[in-house]
Amino acid sequence: MHLDPFELHRPESVQETIRLARELAPGFDYLAGGTDLLPNYKMHLNVRPHLIALDRVAELQGYDLDRIGAMTRLADLDQDPQIARQYPALGEAVHAVATPLVRASGTVGGNLLVETRCFFFNQSFFWRASLGFCLKADGDQCYVVPQKEKCYATFSGDLAPALEVLGASVELAGPDGRRRLSLEELYAADGDGIQRHRLAPGELLVAVHLPPEARHLRSTYAKLRPRPSFDFPELGLAVALSREGDRLTSLEIATGGLETFPRRFRSITEGFVGATLSTERIGELARTIQAAVRPVHNTAYPPDYRKRMTGVFVRRAVTALWERRGAS
């Protein structure tokens, strides 16, 4: 595997970045830490002739508890006790990404926009050529769900579900100006593994914003994967809730690693808010979410196992947060 030559551009402001993107479209990709993009380029997956590096764009750097710049390295958040204390789900999700080496280069923006994955896609050119290419790169058919219209590649970023349950939003900049989207709005909920987010062509993710209320939530992130030291999620589950006395006052649950987008379950969880959470109610919640998720067979573990583990993870995580003492 080798990296084909590309031309590297290194703008220093958001304005200059957007201007370059307009000039080079559609023959470019943004380059953040490169830990996802460059391995894909080495496998000749949708290679572009130009890369716009974001490491010198000042506005994308730095973070505090309200705003996380898109170029913030995962390792910086991982080593920050304030993040772990104020946003446990985010701290646990960051810590679960890949390896220390990948976290040292990988960024928050790159993690939210990481390429979707599938075992027919994340392969060398030679491997893919021997089988015949698929819809997501160079071909016209899908091997997972045989048809020619839609890709079912799996969204496999760890941070998105955690930020989703904390109520985060993303700040975007593009040729038509700035806008904010909730995490839920960022991803294409109609579910296609190729068109994996709702960024307009050339649009740049500038920062993630967290609402102050997120600091009062009990939250957690749990991850299922073959090798805990290394692998992408086969299932990522984030839960955030608040409790007043015996009453559940808010509940958010989101999953990753199962479908083409990170999924939030508001229509299910809102039915549980306002009352107490008994063991039976938690079991009912777990079964309902387990029935709702739709994994397909394109990662290491079979879909039925990932689906069943979703129920197990929901039950464990919600029980632990509900019973935790001394929190809000």
Q: Is 193 in the site for ligand SF4 (CB under 6 A)?
A: yes
The DSSP annotation for 199-242 comes to: PPTT-EEEEEE--GGGGGSEEEEEEE-S-TTTPPPSEEEEEEEE
Other CB atoms within a 10 A radius of the CB of residue 87 amount to 25
Q: Cβ of residue 254: shortest distance to ligand SF4, in angstroms?
A: 22
Name the segment binding ligand SF4 (CB under 6 A); options: 2-10, 103-111, 116-124, 245-253.
116-124
Point out which span in 10-18, 70-78, 146-154, 231-239 binds ligand SF4 (CB under 6 A): 146-154
Binding mask 277-306 for ligand SF4 (x = CB under 6 A): ---------------------x--------
- Choose the contact partner of 293 out of ligand SF4, ligand FAD, none; CB within 5 to 8 A by kind: none
302 prior amide bond cis, ω within 30:
no
Chain centroid, CA 321 distance in Å: 22
The correct pick among 14, 20, 57, 153 for binding ligand SF4 (CB under 6 A) is 153
**Residue 278 CB, nearest approach to ligand FAD (Å):** 34
Please state, in angstroms and rounded to a whole number, the distance separating the CA atoms of residues 68 and 168: 10
# residues contacting ligand FAD (CB under 6 A): 31
DSSP, collapsed to helix, strand or coil, labels residue 78 as: helix
**Does 113 help bind ligand FAD (rule: CB under 6 A)?**
yes
CA separation (Å) from 289 to 8, 10, 186, 292, 308?
Answer: 45, 44, 22, 5, 10
CB of 74 to ligand FAD, least distance (A): 6
Is residue 193 close enough to count as binding ligand FAD by CB under 6 A? Answer: no
Select the residue interacting with ligand FAD from 89, 98, 183, 317 (CB under 6 A). Answer: 98
Asked if residue 18 binds ligand SF4 (CB under 6 A), the reply is no
Q: Is the Cβ of residue 71 or residue 314 nearer to ligand FAD in the bound state?
A: 71
- Could you tell me the CA-to-CA distances from 226 to 166, 232, 299 in Å, in that order? 27, 9, 11
Q: What SS3 string covers 249-297?
A: EEEEEEEECCCCCCEECHHHHHHHCCCCCCHHHHHHHHHHHHHHCCCCC
Site string for ligand SF4, 86-115 (x = CB under 6 A): ------------------------------
Rounded Cα–Cα distance for residues 58 and 74 (Å): 17
Nearer to ligand SF4, 45 or 222 (CB): 45
Strand 7-9 versus strand 50-53 pairing type: parallel
What x-and-dash track marks residues 50-79 binding ligand FAD by CB under 6 A? ----x---------------x---x-----
The candidate with the shortest Cα–Cα distance to 151, out of 274, 314, 261, is 261
- Report helix angle 303-323 to 279-292, nearest 10: 150
Q: Which residues bind ligand FAD (CB under 6 A)?
A: 29-37, 39, 54, 70, 74, 97-98, 102, 105-107, 109-111, 113-115, 157-158, 204-205, 231-232
Q: Which residues bind ligand SF4 (CB under 6 A)?
A: 118, 120-121, 134-136, 142-144, 151-153, 193, 298
